[in-house]
Chain A
Amino acid sequence: MKTGSNETFSVLKMEKILAVQSDEYTKLQRCYVELQRKYNENIASSENEESGLSSFLSRLSLTVASLFDKNTYADIYIRSQTRVFPAHKIVLHARSEKWGNDLLSNIQQLDWSDLNEDVVLSLLRWIYTDLIDLQNDGLALDLLKAAHRFGLPSLLGICERALVTSVGVRSCIRFYCVAEEVGASTLLEYCSSIISTHWDDLTTDDFQHMSGPLLFEMLKTKTKHPLHAAVRLLREDVVSLCIQKYGNSLVNTFSENGILPLEMALSSKNAKIAKSLVDNGMANINAVNMEGFSLLKSALKNGDAFSANFLLDQNCLLDLPSKPSSDTALHIICNYGPDNTPEIMEVVKKILQRQLNINIQNIKGETPLHIAIARRNVEMVKLLLKVPNIDINLRTYDEKCALELSLSMGDHEFLIASILLSMGARTDRTNSKTGDSLLQVFALDRHRGEKSAIFLADFADLDHINFRGLTALHIAALNNMPNLVKKLIVNGASSNLKHIDCGLKSALHIAVEANAIDALEAFVELKNKSHDIDFNCQDINGDSPLSLCLSLKRTTLVPTLIRGGSDVNGKNKNNLSPLHQSIKNEDSDISLFLLEQGADITALTENLDSALDLSIKHDLSEVVDALCRRGIALSINKNGESPLWSALEKGYEDVAKILVRHGIDTDCWDEGPEGCRQTLLHRAIDENKESVAIFLIQSQCDLDSSRQPGPNGEGGDEAQDKASPLHLCCHWGQTKVLQTLIDHGANVNLIDAESKSPLHVAIESQYDEIISILLCHPDIDLKLRDKSGNTPFATALDFRNHNAAQRILDRFPTAAEQMDIRGRNFLHLAILKDDLESVLFLLAIQVDVNSRVHDANQSSPLHLAAASQNEMITRNLILAGARMNERDAVQKLPLHIAIERGNLPAVSALIQNNADYDATDADGNNALHIAVRCAQFFIVRELLTESRVNAEATNLKGRNPLHELCRVVEDSTAGLICELFLESMPKYPINIPDMDGNTPLLLSFMRGQSPLCKILVKAGACLGTENKDGINIFNFKLATDQLLHNLLDQLPQESPWAESDYCQHCTNRFTITMRKHHCRHCGRVLCSKCSCNDVPILKFGINKPVRVCTVCFNVLQCGNGSLS
């Protein structure tokens, strides 16, 4: 009879239910599904085999469905609440046995008016069509009941499965009841499991539909404490059942949470259950819970007036001990605060009627009164105060009395405090640790205590001193409580009371220390009302309130203290007046204020500093100005310093300007180095304080004075050097100061003790920037000469500052032409100093390179260069056009001077540039003469090899260079030069006599120059030559004959024959009869008698005997003997 769609719907429902069922149920569902599937297969198979039968069954099913709510074939009617449905008995009978022929055969109508309209409609639709919509839980539940009522198990199953799918925590109880009612075991079990799982989440409302016995049974199975559960669910009927069954064994048992059933009932405010527990179950009203509290106290702690009243009505005990706080019931109630409910107050009254000791103290020493006051429970306070034996002076263990607590709680009207005081509350008790009285305690409370203290001031000892030596007035001052200050003073507190423990400080001192401006104002106000307040009392340190104020830099308090009568000139222990203190605090405003109040500007500190000194030191320009306007002296201070210097030295220009504006001496002549006298400007420059110096100059100090000797001539160089400030700036390189001096009109042409101008000094110190500044000055005098005769240009050359020299020339073109006192210009001087750079500079500016020294010698620059060791000076002068053949006053050329100085490089330079090497000096000597005479071997060589000097020229005495060599040159140098001559000029005439008839050999022999004689003899010098005086080497007497014999012995060849009219040995005149003969060895002309010896001269290759003189005979014989 089931249609396909119905089967599909069933399968879906089963799938939903399957997810929440047990494994067994799941298996059952799988079998069912499988069965349905097989059934469908059978139907399909059946249709294939017997199409007629299948068709009939289908048509029958459809026919029945079509009869729903139709009158066709209707034979019975069903009445609902609002309408009547046509129905068919056969269809009803097919669904349920209860609608069998026995029931339906004789009736025409079924009355279903007790069912809901929707239930009726859904039920009939299902009966006819097998279709049903169970989305609504309520509908499903009602249908479940209807199914049970009418005996429709298939519908019952459908509804049960639908409900299982949708059951929840909130609905499980209701579903459980219905399931139990109709016997839906699957739903029942499922709901039961949910109830077990969420037992603690279920509430009274959830069980309200469950019957007492059923719930009792459930509680027995679900929990170990069914009585507790019944109480929690507020089911009085179940509670009774529990008591009946278990007696009182469960009544006084704790649950897992440590709660008693009575406690639970009371918490729920269920008087009936509580009463039942007490009366029938013998519940213990004095039980103590697991927290250690009695039920009464626990209720009170929770503010549960209902429970408290119930317990009190049952005459529970009130004095059970309570840990750990030791609070009584009254303590707990008093802790509630100011908002008491009438129920609570009723509880209080009941407690008080029991006449217990209300002064019991808890673990903190608090009585109920203390707590009530602290919690601002005014109603309770009043009630407690009415108890006859109340002790209002009990103190807590931290020494707080009821009065203190009442004042602390912010009772603006002080109502309770007043009551307490009227009842005899004490105000004279002090804190054991601090010694504070109650008045002081409130004075110390800077946030809320002032009003309380003011109130209390009318009742307390005003001058009580605590352990710190402070009175209430001290504390009021400390905490800046002006109203309390006034109250205390007006009530008679002593403002001048001081104690050693607080350093003899008065309340005023304390107020200053705490920067309590309002309190001070109060003191001033009271002072003006003729109260005895001393504004000048001193503490242990000797400070008045004002001096203490300034020491602590409480500047805002100063005007107040002054108005109160503080002495503006009072001194502290350091002898500092308030003005001194404020200046040291660098507080200009207060300092000015004090000055306006008549502070003594002449007072000195212990260190003898004046107010001006301090003001300058601390850079308080306004104060300095004020002091100056009041006529303070601007003289030097105790340290001998000008105030202006003090200010400038610290860089306080503003202060300095004020001092200047008030006429301070900007020079301030004072002691300087080694006792000399100097101005501030001198000092500033000397100490390199540039900004100070500039300021002084701008302030129109003395710009030009030099330092002076002391009164008794003291001072070293500084006192004597006459250096102006400009000189000092040039010396120390202070460019900015110098510029400032010039800008303000300093004299740039002042000279110092050395007659040096500032420009001289700047050039010597090599400060180019300063030099530039000075040279730009329109009044600069470039002709000034110092004591050395140097102009600035000369100084620039001396210091090789060619940039400066050039600039001076730009300004003063003729500067380079000046001469010194010895007639030398700058070029001369530069050459004399071998200063190539200066020479180059002068050449660059095109000085006259042929100017002569203006002295007796008339040297040209090239003459001077010839004596210089710097070859390049000579070469550069030549390139610049210096004339090389100029003669000085003694007719010398530069070449001559170079030769005389042995300056080979200069000689080379001159020769290379075609100097006239054949020019002669005043004695007719040419360059070679001079070189030979000076024994300058290298110069001789240079002349012989690099020039074509006339080597045979004769001077005015007829001497050629060789003559000069033999005549004057000493040692072996002469020999070297002679050899050089003979080497470079083999044919040089070595036998030419000079004007006296002397040959070179004779000249050298007469000086005993052995090496030179040997060279000449070897070269072929004539040995027999004699001069005009008849002197020859044979008759010239030397110390020994050794030289002559050596010359003869070493004679290499026959000497040229001499000529004479006399025998050169016996000096007899030759005649016709006395004939001339020549010695074949020495070449002398002799008579026959003097040359009578004949010997062979083997060294000459002469083997036969020849005529020789006696001297040669002796020499040759000795020589022959040696050989033989």
Chain B
Amino acid sequence: MATTPRSGGASGTGTAQRPNGTSQNKSCQFKLVLLGESAVGKSSLVLRFVKGQFHEYQESTIGAAFLTQTICIEDTVVKFEIWDTAGQERYHSLAPMYYRGAQAAIVVYDIQNQDSFQRAKTWVKELHKQASPNIVIALAGNKADLSNIRVVEFDEAKQYAEENGLLFMETSAKTGMNVNDIFLAIAKKLPKNDGANNQGTSIRPTGTETNRPTNNCCK
């Protein structure tokens, strides 16, 4: 089972600070959901982003996995609460539960698999219809390291993304290509004011007095 990594938190021997102290930096957290057909590499993307690892043989996800990762953008500490959903059809009815209230979504397809791209389009339509109106959607063409046997053309996906107001990158969880970049792009696009943060049901209020310097902020 997936467990919550502690890489974003303070270590036991570090200096602990209450969140009610004076804050030198803004911090905010966002719910991000990964969607896509089974075996396109959603879990591998998240594993690469959070732990910097890649497993050649990844087991199927049951329901969804939950991981967190914190990144720094300018003077803001952004914490992603990532729901890595299962792609099997039998879990499809649970998808609204995962993307409801999410500020961001990454829809993943496999560049070797045309069906997965079609499925990605279906997810985009569903998100536009049922998810938060301001959700930031990124389209990820994974397994870009296998571009010599690609089926989905880069230009086709890029055009689709532009037509639908999506971020678009081809990624490779195996090589790490564009993995951090796509999360960074999402973070940059997300609104960081308090008003926007309060729209989500899972967002904790962050006061300006928060003073929580961390040692592993940008790992």
Contact = CB atoms under 8 A, between A and B. Distances in A.
Contacts of B97: 843, 876, 879-880
A946 B1 contact: no
Interface in B126-182: none
Nearest to B100: A879
Contacts of B204: 912, 914
A332 interface: no
Contacts, number: 73
B17 interface: yes
A634 interface: no
A852 B19 CA distance: 34
Given A871-B1, A879-B97, A905-B4, A944 B64 contact: no
A951 B18 contact: yes
Interface string B15-52: 11111100000000000000000000000000000000
B191 interface: no
B58 interface: no
Interface string A904-930: 010011001110000000000000000
B19 A876 contact: no
A1122 B202 CA distance: 61
Contact of B202 (A843, A912, A945, A984): A912
A984 B16 contact: yes
A870 interface: yes
B69 to A, nearest CB: 13
B112 to A, nearest CB: 29
B94 A840 contact: yes
Contacts of A875: 66
Contacts of A913: 202
Given A912-B81, A948-B20, A872 B93 contact: no
Contacts of B91: 840, 844
A980 interface: yes
A436 to B, nearest CB: 89
A534 B100 CA distance: 104
The dominant DSSP class at the B interface is loop
A945 B4 contact: no
B4 A871 contact: yes
A843 B94 contact: yes
Contacts of A879: 97-98, 100
Interface residues of A, number: 30
Contact of B94 (A844, A914, A944, A983): A844
B117 to A, nearest CB: 26
A879 B65 CA distance: 13
The number of chain B residues touching the other chain, given as a range, is: 20 to 34
A221 to B, nearest CB: 105
A546 B147 CA distance: 87
Contacts of A914: 201-202, 204
A554 interface: no
Interface string A410-442: 000000000000000000000000000000000
B98 A947 contact: no
Interface string B183-219: 0000000000000000001101000000010000000
Interface in B84-127: 90-91, 93-94, 97-98, 100
Nearest to B12: A941
A941 B63 CA distance: 30
A234 to B, nearest CB: 105
A985 interface: yes
A836 interface: yes
Interface string A866-886: 000011100110011000000
A837 interface: yes
Contacts of A843: 94, 97
A945 B9 contact: yes
Interface string A934-960: 000000010011111001000000000
Contacts of B94: 840, 843-844, 876
B1 A870 contact: yes
Contacts of A947: 19
Of the listed residues A802, A879, A951, A983, the one surrounded by the most CB atoms of chain B closer than 10 A to its CB is: A879
Nearest to B18: A984
Nearest to A806: B90
A983 B202 CA distance: 29
A872 B18 contact: no
Given A905-B3, A913-B202, A872 B16 contact: no
Nearest to B9: A945
Contacts of B201: 914
Given A914-B201, A941-B12, 20 more contacts: A836-B63, A840-B63, A843-B97, A844-B94, A871-B3, A871-B4, A872-B1, A872-B64, A876-B63, A879-B100, A905-B3, A905-B4, A908-B4, A909-B4, A944-B16, A944-B18, A946-B9, A946-B19, A948-B19, A983-B16
Interface of B: 1-4, 9-10, 12, 15-20, 62-66, 81, 90-91, 93-94, 97-98, 100, 201-202, 204, 212
17 contacts: A802-B90, A837-B62, A840-B62, A840-B63, A843-B97, A872-B1, A872-B2, A876-B64, A876-B97, A905-B4, A909-B4, A912-B204, A945-B9, A945-B16, A945-B17, A945-B19, A985-B18
